[in-house]
Amino acid sequence: MLITDRAMAIKVTGGLSEPSKMPGFGYSLPASSCKTGSKLRNVEGSVCSRCYAWKGCYVFPSTKAAMKRRLKAIRCSQWVDGMVYLLLSQKTSNYFRWHDSGDLQGMGHFKKILEVCKRTPNIIHWLPTHEHKLMRQVEKQGIEIPKNLVIRLSSCMIDAPVRLTSLGGFCASSTFTGVMSEKRKQVERPCNAALRKNTCGNCRICWDKKVKAVSYKMH
């Protein structure tokens, strides 16, 4: 069935999320659905043990219901068509964030995202993920990554510096507490959203493949 209107697109995708920090829309899933993150949540000192998606606006009943709808929707055969429709019809930004909450559910989910990216070439997509093993499979299988998709492998532990040699062809993200050392700044670009009332403002380093590693202040 051809997606002909916004209502139909929302029905088959669950709709987009609107992260207040971001310049555009996102697509959030329940943090409880994270394959690796749900395990890391029980590891002291891990990024996921202090995950922001388990508090704040993410625990509102309406938000939780929307994320649950999206999780179910990614199995829909028309999900890709619906996502493409929504992304091409929105006029607010050419930058999109995958999973401001939640993560990849498997190879099938990832390949659907690739198709969405290919069919929205004028939008730059950013996908952070803790699913390192899955991404290694992607590399091993030689799956082509669209030029408009930036994948960042997320460090698992708080204050763990990025090792560029371990990234393969991907970018990275990490976290820091206190003040980032000058040594780390030589490898990782610190996110300065805190200086802009916790918004991206006109910064787009997370969507920039030339920036191999970005580090976020833990909150």
Give residue 115's pLDDT: 98
DSSP, collapsed to helix, strand or coil, labels residue 106 as coil
Whether the per-residue pLDDT at 1 is higher than 80: the answer is no
Handedness of CA 1, 71, 191, 130 (dihedral sign): negative
Mean pLDDT, the chain, whole residue set: 94
Give residue 78's pLDDT: 97
Percent of the chain predicted with pLDDT > 90: 84
| Backbone φ, ψ for residue 23 (5° rounding) | -75, -15
Q: What is the mean pLDDT of residues 55-77?
A: 96
Give residue 92's pLDDT: 80
Give residue 99's pLDDT: 97
Handedness of CA 41, 42, 45, 50 (dihedral sign): positive
Q: What is the pLDDT of residues 131-181, one digit of tens each?
A: 999 999 999 999 999 999 999 999 999 999 898 878 888 999 999 998 888
Between the alpha carbon of residue 198 and those of residues 20, 77, 194, 216, the distances in Å are 9, 37, 4, 11
The pair of three-digit structure tokens given for residue 55, joined into one six-digit string: 């508090």
Q: What is the mean pLDDT of residues 24-52?
A: 96
DSSP, collapsed to helix, strand or coil, labels residue 182 as helix
Give residue 181's pLDDT: 87
- On whether the CB atoms of residues 20 and 199 are closer than 8 A, the answer is yes
Query: Would you place residue 4 in the very low, low, confident or very high pLDDT band (cuts 50, 70, 90)?
Result: confident
Give residue 133's pLDDT: 96
* Lookup result for tokens 């993200």: 173
Give residue 169's pLDDT: 87
Give residue 168's pLDDT: 86
Interstrand relation of 171-176 and 26-27 (parallel, antiparallel or unpaired): unpaired
Give residue 164's pLDDT: 83
DSSP 47-98: GGGG-GGGSGGGGSHHHHHHHHHHHHHTTSTTHHHHHHHHHHH--S-SEEEE
* Lookup result for tokens 């393969």: 168
Task: Note the Cα 208 to chain centre separation in Å.
Answer: 14
Q: What is the pLDDT of residues 74-121, one digit of tens each?
A: 999 999 999 999 999 988 889 999 999 999 999 999 999 999 999 999
> Across the chain, where does the E strand assignment appear?
26-27, 95-98, 124-129, 149-154, 171-176, 189-190, 213-217
Whether the per-residue pLDDT at 12 is higher than 90: the answer is yes
Percent of the chain predicted with pLDDT > 70: 100
